[in-house]
Structure 1
Amino acid sequence: MPSKLPLVYLAFNLLFLACGALLIGFSLLSEQTMRGGSNLDNVARNLLLDQCPLTAGVVNAIFIFVTFLLSLPAFFLPTNRGWLRAQGWLVVFCAMFTLGLGLSVWISTLQTRRKLGDMWGVQTGEIQSLLQRKFNCCGYQNSTSPLYVEDSTCLNPLVAASLPGCIAPFSNFANAYLDIIFTAAFGMVGIDAILVLCIAMVIQYRMEQERYRHIDEKAGMKGF
């Protein structure tokens, strides 16, 4: 086998594994953070993460780990193609799974203001107050729609009326944060696609090697 091909295949296999570790680490840490309660620093992130498919991310990561384990016999058996084919199909499945997760987050950013408005309406006064203090705003659209929560930022109706609603800063934060998440998911899909190409090249090379071996065997028999 050419010296560079197995190294490239191994490198993207390890990147594929790293994507799985990143996915499960992000999902589990996010769930742990949400269970720990909200404060001024994480309240906005917690609300957004609660809308993300974190459990599906854990399941996706498990499939990635299983797929990586299947690649080990494929790598160490230099003439085998069955394990490679199985890995290739599983990588395609993982890529489609990850793509679905990324698309679900991306689609949510197309309706950010409406979704955040619905989200704001079901929060407790304590959470709304944390958001007001975080973004230095009062109410969602403005101080009266819906009515602001009185706190250290919105001290009274006069102060509240002088501050903007939270819709703009909260939406900007949500879009920027969710953009990072779905961009990372699409980047993982790109790594999956390159890995599939590497697998296809390795399969093709092994097929050629087997054909040459049969030719050499026949040539040897004729010479005998």
Structure 2
Amino acid sequence: MANKVQIAYLVSDGLFLLMGIFILAFSVIVNNIKDEQPTNGRQAARDLLYRDFPLSAGIVNAVFIFITFAATLPGLATSSRRWIKAAGYMAVVCLIFTTALGLDIWIKTLRLRAEFAPRFSAQTDAVKSLMQIEFQCCGYFNSSSPAFVTDAVCPSKAAAAVMRGCAAPISAFANVFLDNIFTALFGIVGFDAIFIMATACLLKDRKERERFQHIDDKAGFGRI
């Protein structure tokens, strides 16, 4: 019968797997929608951000999480510590990998305002217009840098000149959006850490049980 330590390990192992499923699902879904034709300015800005996400790395990370989870199964099916220990080391790699993904996205927020400019400039007039209308702005840094697109918000040079550039509102939107993403990734890192601690506890518990079993065997009591 499983003791409390093993039950805690089973729960953390399941959560660890769930985080891998979440990373894989997010990476695959985003990879499929990032090149869709946007229908509004927020979607346009979001998709431009998505295109700079490390999605392939996310998929690789998720696959490694699944492999790590698979490595725990022989250890759970037997009393062996070898598989559990191997899974623990693999989980450390997963933790580092996920942390790196989170840091990559966090670093993007630090230089977002400047780095988003060429992406904005490279868009078609229709996409630029969607963002101008959504964020009530003209151009990016200002109405002439790059030049605004004529639409309902920016109908003329005179009207556009008194409007703010899109850099500030898009950056504000993007920062909140990216904050949520890397916060979620760091939350996953927390689950990885819990799994690693549960692994250490299970290894210690099994080592203690093996030691006591060895003592009992020597004393002639046999297996408990």
User: TM-score per shorter chain, which class?
Assistant: over 0.9
Give the deviation of 1:189 after TM superposition: 0.9
Query: How far apart, in 2, do the equivalents of 1:152 and 1:27 lie?
Result: 36
Name the count of aligned residue pairs.
220
Alignment partner, residue 205 of structure 1: 205
Matched, 1:97 2:97: yes
Query: Per the alignment, do residues 116 and 35 of structure 1 end up closer, same or farther by CA in structure 2, a change over 3 Å counting?
Result: closer
Alignment partner, residue 12 of structure 1: 12
Query: How far apart, in 2, do the equivalents of 1:86 and 1:210 lie?
Result: 18
| TM-score, with structure 1 as normaliser | 0.93
Alignment partner, residue 154 of structure 1: 154
Q: Percent identity?
A: 43
Query: How far apart, in 1, do the equivalents of 2:161 and 2:204 lie?
Result: 69
Give the deviation of 1:136 after TM superposition: 1.3
Alignment partner, residue 175 of structure 1: 175
Query: How far apart, in 2, do the equivalents of 1:10 and 1:43 lie?
Result: 42
Instruction: Name structure 1 gaps, 5 residues minimum.
Output: none
Residues 127-159 of structure 1 show CA distances to partners (whole Å, capped at 9, x for unaligned) of: 211211111111011112221011222111222
Q: What amino acid does structure 1 have at the position aligned with 2:76?
A: F
**146-155 or 204-213, which deviates more:** 146-155
Query: How far apart, in 2, do the equivalents of 1:103 and 1:15 lie?
Result: 22
Q: What amino acid does structure 2 have at the position aligned with 1:64?
A: I
Query: How far apart, in 2, do the equivalents of 1:143 and 1:157 lie?
Result: 8
Alignment partner, residue 215 of structure 1: 215
- SS where residue 35 of structure 1 aligns? coil
RMSD: 1.5
Matched, 1:64 2:65: yes
Residues 78-118 of structure 1 show CA distances to partners (whole Å, capped at 9, x for unaligned) of: x2101001100110111111111111111111111111123
Q: What amino acid does structure 1 have at the position aligned with 2:170?
A: F
- SS where residue 134 of structure 1 aligns? helix
Query: How far apart, in 2, do the equivalents of 1:129 and 1:147 lie?
Result: 12
Give the deviation of 1:164 after TM superposition: 1.3
Query: How far apart, in 1, do the equivalents of 2:87 and 2:196 lie?
Result: 9
Alignment partner, residue 191 of structure 1: 191
Q: What amino acid does structure 1 have at the position aligned with 2:80?
A: N
Query: How far apart, in 1, do the equivalents of 2:94 and 2:19 lie?
Result: 11
The runs of 4+ residues in structure 1 deviating greater than 3 Å are none
Q: What amino acid does structure 2 have at the position aligned with 1:207?
A: K
Give the deviation of 1:2 after TM superposition: 6.8
Alignment partner, residue 21 of structure 1: 21
Report if the CA contact (8 A) 2:5-2:205 is conserved: no
Q: What amino acid does structure 2 have at the position aligned with 1:219?
A: A
